[in-house]
Structure 1
Amino acid sequence: MGGLQQFSSRLAWNPLLDRLFPDGLMLKDADAHRYDRKILQSAFKKSAIEGYLDTMNPHLERGLTAWPQNKSFFFQHAVKQLLLEVAAEVFLGVEMGDEASSVNTAFVDTMLASMAVFKIPVPGTLWYRGLKGRKHLEDFVMTHIAAKRETEAQDIFSQICHATDEDGNVFSDSAVRDHIIFLLFAAHDTTTSTLCSIVYALAKHPEWQQRLREEYQSLGTASLSYDDLSKLEDTKLVFKEALRMYPPVPAIPRRTVKDMELFGYHIPKNTSVGLSPLFTHYMEEYWSNPTQFDPERFSKARAEDKKHFFQWIPFGGGAHKCLGLNFAEVQTKLFLFHLLTRYNISVKAGYEMPRSWVPLIFPADGLPVTFTPL
């Protein structure tokens, strides 16, 4: 580990994820991380994301139109399934079809296994189901690699299969597999968490539903283009405030790679340390009334998030800052556009959403909501 690196992401995450998401970008450090990240960045550049809109717009529209209306349903389950199907098209370039349910279950089992206390593959345990889920995901992705190598397409899977370094080298099949599985997990699980927080907040604050709806109506279009996205300033305020209050990843672990001094404390090599966005996002020295949902705090007039470079960190920071942050914002804006131009969102009077906090922040009850057509 050369350079000035003092913390390792790989050593911190490996005990939790090394068997479940081996060699994903988050589990790499230093030169290995920089090498892979540079190649993967091509899949998230502006021109690539612009192309993904052609897939996401119609799929989100179809999915939302088919959801229950005028009766309560569990939003978390529905949006997770929809985002997985969208991610499969955008990332893999394949229609999920009948495989969607089994792949979704595999992702859930794999993620939950990261919290397993006993990592012995005994049938019926979290760890056993997680390893079985991982194998299912591997088989699913590997069946498509050969075809992706033969032709080039817009999807991220194809781009990673054909991406080369400066010497013309491509990723191995196993590296493609590991990156795709990790990116799929990161893309649809964290965005599911984000949209649950946003939808809950909008249901509790209907004035913001109307404000966003008026913003969409002002565009005079039934389908967003890439250029439209930058005009959605109020939507971005809501997006940022929801991520402040409920960052999908509430804690970011690291492990020291050398002895160091931090804030006057001596920290030995190989010490586990952690950063908590959930704590940082509620520090009263940076945020006014931090427990209140107040998207205006991110407006240019107030700019509460500009007091410190690392006070708003739902996507982390530094070398490991989330590669897909722009994609996440684009997908969230598209979803909210199609949702709020069709439905009013409500929850039962007095409802307060319970949350599970690990490994990601999710509604503990599936978030029962009602969509009423406009």
Structure 2
Amino acid sequence: MLTASARTDQSGSLQETFLRLPAKPNRQLDHLPGDYGLPVFGHTWGLLTNGPRLTAAMVARYGPVFRSSALFQRSVALVGPDAAQFVLLDPDRNFAARPAWDTILGGLFDNGLLLRDLDDHRAHRRVLQQAFKKPVLDSYCQTLNRFLGEGITAWPSGRHFDFYPAVKQLLLDNAIESFFGADPARDVAPLNRAFIDMLDATLALVRRPLPGTRWRRGVHGRRALECYLASQLDARKANPGNDFFSTLCTAANDESGGLSDSEIIDHLMFLLFAAHDTTSSTLSSMIRILCQYPQWQERLREEFSTLDAAALQTEHFGALPQTDWFFRETLRMHPPVPAIIRRTARACEWSGYTLPANTAVFLPIRFNHRMEQFWSSPGQFDPERWSPGREEYKGHSFQWLPFGGGAHKCLGLHFAEMQTKIFLYHLLRNYRIAGDQKHRPRIRYVPLEIPGNGLPVLLSPR
């Protein structure tokens, strides 16, 4: 079992403080500007129907620090890059990730990296980084090119189909094979079902395993994945393959000797969760934008054609600047996770206001990405804002945070970039894509930004 000894007595006492925070956050926030909305339900309806509009209205009325209530929880918004830097760099160790995310992921994705803090988090992150080093990522390229290329060409052309469920299934099949090294013919389908039940359970209001409930199906799904991974541990250790599972099984740590079996299983399930839905969201946003701005299909396709390569490799990325601008601008306008959440481990101050201990805090990343102080015409899709000579992202190091920042910055960001660009490469080299003019795109913002109507599209072979 991987353990982290506290470097100082203060660090050890802080770890205890973080672990002992009550499950329910502090509700005494009346000293802060803001309002709680409707009795009991608060601003839940506004959050679910159009969270960005709700945030903009609250900022306009109350300023960059405000209290609110939604989904039966009171919280405080800290708006802007300065606030994001204060919370995410956290030099005084005031903010905890585990209790914030435990309300959503606890019982399903326990002990994942995002549910760890301080020295414990640092020790586990150091081991997991071995699965995301460049030589390891390069080895995944061949699998991604094959899997995504074959999957895209198997989609229907000449008629409309719903892109979001199709890409979600394709990426889940790919993730189960890449992360777990599962047998595509035998294991992928039942593992997919188990994982989908776990994802669905994160939205459960009733968190007891009552018959017929989301939570019960989610708990059973976790058990099924645990049993599968446990049955494969010895084989992966004895004969490792080119998958995340094998990499974690063979990873060594100078201080501890590696991960325990249960830790390997917990991390694999959380990595699958963290990687799958966010990339599905990002690709759906990209496809919606490509349908809206077909000139960018042509620009990316022309750039891809300069490579004259059947498969996209990581060494090609430097030759694709416009693809990179497109990738970054999509994530600016449509970050998959619209807000980052934390819990105060102890009382602290920001912008003249006191945040009591155990207060739920959120950083509205999507709103920050559209602040006029940092972006010109922020509501306009403009990939060239990332080009040399403009480089608007340089105004503040925390103004663009689709992958978070600080100690908990997304460990798989380079894998996500690689997967996304390989997908676009195979799609646009083979097809033109158009939206369904009969159906206006609808967007859901909670828990991730995804199409509310499946995103019907039409693929036309080139």
**If the TM-score is normalised by the length of the shorter chain, which range does it land in?**
over 0.9
CA shift at 1:143, angstroms?
A: 2.3
CA shift at 1:322, angstroms?
A: 0.2
Q: Does 1:235 align with 2:328?
A: no
Query: C-alpha distance in 1, partners of 2:188/2:178?
Result: 14
CA shift at 1:351, angstroms?
A: 4.3
1:75 alignment counterpart: 163
Query: What SS does the corresponding residue of 1:198 show, helix, strand or coil?
Result: helix
1:132 alignment counterpart: 220
Can you give the 5+ residue segments of structure 2 that lack an aligned partner in the other structure?
1-13, 16-90
Q: Does 1:256 align with 2:344?
A: yes
Give the counterpart of 1:362 among 450, 454, 459.
450
Contact kept, 8 Å, 1:88 with 1:95, in 2: the verdict is no
Contact kept, 8 Å, 1:85 with 1:95, in 2: the verdict is no
Could you tell me which amino acid in structure 1 is paired with residue 370 of structure 2?
A: Y
TM-score (norm 2): 0.78
Query: C-alpha distance in 2, partners of 1:106/1:355?
Result: 26
Deviations 1:265-288 (A, max 9, x none): 111111111111111111121122
Q: Does 1:57 align with 2:145?
A: yes
Contact kept, 8 Å, 2:278 with 2:448, in 1: the verdict is yes
Query: C-alpha distance in 2, partners of 1:19/1:372?
Result: 44
2:93 alignment counterpart: 5
Query: What SS does the corresponding residue of 2:161 show, helix, strand or coil?
Result: strand
2:197 alignment counterpart: 109
Query: C-alpha distance in 2, partners of 1:142/1:353?
Result: 42
Query: C-alpha distance in 2, partners of 1:153/1:105?
Result: 24
Moved more, 229-238 or 32-41: 229-238
2:245 alignment counterpart: 157
CA shift at 1:87, angstroms?
A: 1.7
Can you give the 5+ residue segments of structure 1 that lack an aligned partner in the other structure?
none
Shift >4 Å, 4+ stretches: none
Assess, with a 3 A threshold, how the Cα gap between structure 1 residues 232 and 297 changes in structure 2: closer, same or farther: same
2:379 alignment counterpart: 291
Moved more, 89-98 or 321-330: 89-98
Give the counterpart of 1:142 among 214, 224, 230.
230
Assess, with a 3 A threshold, how the Cα gap between structure 1 residues 272 and 168 changes in structure 2: closer, same or farther: closer
1:18 alignment counterpart: 106
CA shift at 1:207, angstroms?
A: 0.1
CA shift at 1:247, angstroms?
A: 0.9
Q: Does 1:221 align with 2:332?
A: no
Query: C-alpha distance in 2, partners of 1:269/1:8?
Result: 11
CA shift at 1:168, angstroms?
A: 5.5
CA shift at 1:98, angstroms?
A: 4.7
Contact kept, 8 Å, 1:114 with 1:359, in 2: the verdict is no
Give the counterpart of 1:91 among 169, 174, 179.
179
1:169 alignment counterpart: 257
Over the matched positions of the two proteins, sequence identity in percent amounts to: 47
Q: Does 1:273 align with 2:273?
A: no
Could you tell me which amino acid in structure 2 is paired with residue 131 of structure 1?
A: V
CA shift at 1:34, angstroms?
A: 0.2
Moved more, 246-255 or 114-123: 114-123
1:178 alignment counterpart: 266
Query: C-alpha distance in 2, partners of 1:213/1:175?
Result: 43
TM-score (norm 1): 0.96
Query: C-alpha distance in 2, partners of 1:266/1:168?
Result: 39
Query: C-alpha distance in 2, partners of 1:145/1:359?
Result: 32
Could you tell me which amino acid in structure 1 is paired with residue 129 of structure 2?
A: Q
Contact kept, 8 Å, 2:176 with 2:191, in 1: the verdict is no
Contact kept, 8 Å, 2:173 with 2:192, in 1: the verdict is no
Could you tell me which amino acid in structure 1 is paired with residue 320 of structure 2?
A: L
Query: C-alpha distance in 2, partners of 1:252/1:9?
Result: 9
Query: What SS does the corresponding residue of 2:319 show, helix, strand or coil?
Result: coil
Could you tell me which amino acid in structure 1 is paired with residue 384 of structure 2?
A: E
Query: C-alpha distance in 1, partners of 2:432/2:445?
Result: 28
CA shift at 1:350, angstroms?
A: 6.4
Moved more, 85-94 or 56-65: 85-94
Query: What SS does the corresponding residue of 1:286 show, helix, strand or coil?
Result: coil
Moved more, 3-12 or 325-334: 3-12
Contact kept, 8 Å, 1:149 with 1:158, in 2: the verdict is yes
Moved more, 95-104 or 177-186: 95-104
Q: Does 1:336 align with 2:403?
A: no
Structure (1 or 2) with the larger CA radius of gyration: 2
Could you tell me which amino acid in structure 1 is paired with residue 452 of structure 2?
A: A
Q: Does 1:282 align with 2:355?
A: no
Q: Does 1:247 align with 2:364?
A: no
Query: C-alpha distance in 1, partners of 2:199/2:341?
Result: 16
Contact kept, 8 Å, 2:131 with 2:244, in 1: the verdict is yes
Query: C-alpha distance in 1, partners of 2:324/2:254?
Result: 36
